[in-house]
Amino acid sequence: MKLKDKTQVFFVGILAVLVVVLTVLSALSFRRFSIYTAERHARSVAETVKVALTESMINGSIGKREQLLTRLAGVPGVHQVRVARGPAVVKQFGPGLSSEGAASQDVTDVLRTGKETFEVTDVDGELMFRAVIPYVAGNDGVPNCLQCHVVGVGTVLGAVSIDISLAEVRRQGIIAVVMVSLAVLAAALLALGLLRRMMNPLAEAAQGVQEVTSLAVGGNFSGRVRQRSNDEVGEIALNINQLMAFLEREVGTIRTRVGQLMGHQVVREGGNQLVHTTELVESLVEASQFKQAIEEDQTKLEIYQRLSDMLQRKYDFKRFSIYEVAASKNRMTPILVDGEAGAACRHCDPQVVVDASFCRAHRTGHEVNAVDYPGLCTMFRPGSAGETHICLPITQSGSAICVVQIVVAADEGALARLMAPFVSVYLREAGPVLEARRLMEHLRENALRDAMTGLHNRRFLEEYVGALVAGSQRRKSAFSVLMLDLDFFKQVNDTHGHEVGDKVLKTLAGILVRSVRASDIAVRYGGEEFLLVLNDTGADTAMEVAEKIRGQVEATKIPLAGGILQKTISIGVAEFPADSDTFWQVVKFADVALYKAKSDGRNRVVRFAPAMWDASASY
């Protein structure tokens, strides 16, 4: 029930109760007044009878007393007047007239007690007021009772009974009560009308405030309260309207500014503006926290993994790809596919991996929205019918360094489109951090590689040795170390110069890279000395690989300006943990075997044996 209706019902109830109470009080008051009036009337009649009877006895006209009573009974309102003689009068003057006997019990009681009685009775269906008043002897006044009666003062000489009809009084009382009730009812209706007129603006203002605030709770601040007056109610309406206008303006401004910060124009008609704005602000806060977290990550892969977790846990995307773009090679590498690290290209044509220019998001640096524009990207390969996608690039310095592809079913496309701006906030925050990690890894990679041959350097080996040994122990597998040294390399530099020497070293580096697996490690250990770590490889297999390398080096012809140069190489082989469970000791044993190969005539492969080791020797 609305406030206006509640107010009206409340006041109608109060006025109704007031009318009923006043009507009842009027009826009770009139009844009391009627009884009081009848009593006074009865006393007057009784006193008249007393005086008349006394004078009649003195004047000798007592015999005509019956006519007196008849005339009194004819007085308006008086139904009957009777006189009953008391015992003292009967004793002195006899029983008198037949009507002067004690005709009823109440008369007898009054004659006996001398106390008057009053009661309202129903006589033949007519309401009567009956009064029985004693006639008591006294010596006051002239004439007095003792002049005729031989009795003492206070003797009950008789009783006068008067019946007064209340029918007319009741009729008039009813009329009076009705008139009073009608007057009260009219006053109540008038008061109700005035009250309603006064309450209407307040009730309408309250209803307007309720409607406006209900809209505001739903995020709609366009509602306004109609201002009907300039009093306090009008001030409330004015203040509410100013508040709604302020909220509508400021919330809209916040949404616009947040949309600008997100890098997207976020337009949402209808709905809960406050909830939308809160979602946008919360997204910015969460994205800021996300950036703080990834800034503490050491590697790109950790950042990519956080992006993957964000897509899966926060936005419930199950199918997606994160590609890294190698700008120098114009290639794209799948980093995470459906949350799986290192997986092959799954949702795109593999051409994008070989040539990044085929990727529309990479080429344009803009979002590719195939939800609204199906077939926009020709490289998309849906896994099932009805699939669509959205590709979001991570751009830095005007070019895309990464591409995040989100794949959803067609019926989930609208939701994915709504989520895309929020995901873009995370990608934009991740962009600078990823670029910094890429640069750091590039610089670190350069610091850990030999600039001339492109092989890892000794510093890399020093940093990697812990992971190498731990991995071998975890897998419970062996690895072999090969120490390689070009024979008579100093003569090349002395005879042909350092440029030819550098060419020889590059040629050897190429042979080493082609001869080992991607999981193996090739290191330029120093000068013309090289080191190979063959993972999950025992000494016997390592000897075969070393012999193959030796043969390829011997057979390689290096063209020079004045002819052709051929070189040989000596190789020492040791195994971890068979020869030692300490990496650097294995390297030392491989170096001892290399020394043995050189001392035995060079251009050969030698497996380390304990007999070769002389702890006191200097190698």
Tokens of 341: 């690290």
Q: What is the pLDDT of residue 289?
A: 85
Q: How many helices (H) and strands (E) does the chain have?
A: 16, 18
| Region of residue 133 (phi > 0: left; psi between -120 and 50: alpha; otherwise: beta) | beta
What pTM, to 2 d.p., does this model score? 0.50
pLDDT at 213 over 90: no
Residue boundaries of the structural domains of the chain: 18-171, 300-442, 456-612
Q: What is the pLDDT of residue 265?
A: 54
Q: What is the pLDDT of residue 323?
A: 93
Q: What is the pLDDT of residue 368?
A: 93
Q: What is the pLDDT of residue 327?
A: 61
pLDDT in tens, 533-563: 999 999 999 999 999 999 999 999 988 887 8
pLDDT at 602 over 90: yes
Q: What is the pLDDT of residue 589?
A: 95
465-485 burial, b at 16+ Cβ within 10 Å, e below that, comes to eeebbeebeeeeebbbbbbbb
pLDDT in tens, 572-597: 999 999 999 999 999 999 999 999 99
pLDDT at 128 over 70: yes
Q: Which residue has the higher pLDDT, 416 or 225?
A: 416
Taking each helix axis as running N to C, give the angle between helix 273-295 and helix 300-309, from 0 to 180 degrees, rounded to the nearest 10: 160
Radius of gyration of the chain (CA): 62
The lowest-confidence range among 262-276, 391-405, 518-532 is 262-276
Mean pLDDT, to the nearest integer, of 519-545? 92
pLDDT at 515 over 80: yes
Domain boundaries 456-612, corresponding CATH code: 3.30.70.270
Using DSSP, state whether 550 is helix, strand or coil.
Answer: helix
Q: Which residues contact 203 (CB under 8 A, 6 or more apart)?
A: 2, 3, 4, 7
d(CA 183, CA 180): 5
pLDDT at 364 over 60: yes
Tokens of 408: 């959803």
Which of 73-87, 518-532, 538-552 has the highest average model confidence (pLDDT)?
538-552
pLDDT in tens, 271-297: 566 777 777 777 778 888 888 888 888
Q: What is the pLDDT of residue 100?
A: 67
Mean pLDDT, to the nearest integer, of 496-522? 90
Beta strands in 241-351 (DSSP E): 319-326, 331-337, 340-341
Q: Give the number of residues written for the chain.
A: 619
What pLDDT band is residue 331 in, cutting at 50, 70 and 90? confident
Mean pLDDT, to the nearest integer, of 407-434? 88
d(CA 182, CA 140): 52
Q: Which residue has the higher pLDDT, 10 or 521?
A: 521
Domains 18-171 and 300-442 share a fold: yes
pLDDT in tens, 166-199: 777 777 778 887 888 888 888 888 887 887 777 7
Express as a percent the part of the chain with pLDDT over 70. 89
What pLDDT band is residue 68 in, cutting at 50, 70 and 90? low
pLDDT in tens, 5-15: 777 777 778 87
Computed over every residue of the chain, the mean pLDDT equals: 83
Express as a percent the part of the chain with pLDDT over 90. 25
| Region of residue 586 (phi > 0: left; psi between -120 and 50: alpha; otherwise: beta) | alpha
For residue 142, give the amino acid letter.
V
What pLDDT band is residue 425 in, cutting at 50, 70 and 90? confident
What pLDDT band is residue 600 in, cutting at 50, 70 and 90? very high
pLDDT at 454 over 60: yes
CATH architecture of the domain with range 18-171 = 2-Layer Sandwich (3.30)
What pLDDT band is residue 161 in, cutting at 50, 70 and 90? confident
For residue 393, give the amino acid letter.
P
Domain boundaries 300-442, corresponding CATH code: 3.30.450.40
CA 308 from centroid of its chain's CA atoms: 27
Q: Which residue has the higher pLDDT, 150 or 223?
A: 223
pLDDT at 619 over 60: no
Q: What is the pLDDT of residue 382?
A: 87
Four-CA torsion 64, 70, 75, 79, nearest 10 degrees: 150
User: What percentage of the chain's residues is helix, strand, coil (to nearest 5)?
Assistant: 55, 20, 25
Q: What is the pLDDT of residue 329?
A: 64
Mean pLDDT, to the nearest integer, of 394-421? 89
d(CA 263, CA 201): 48
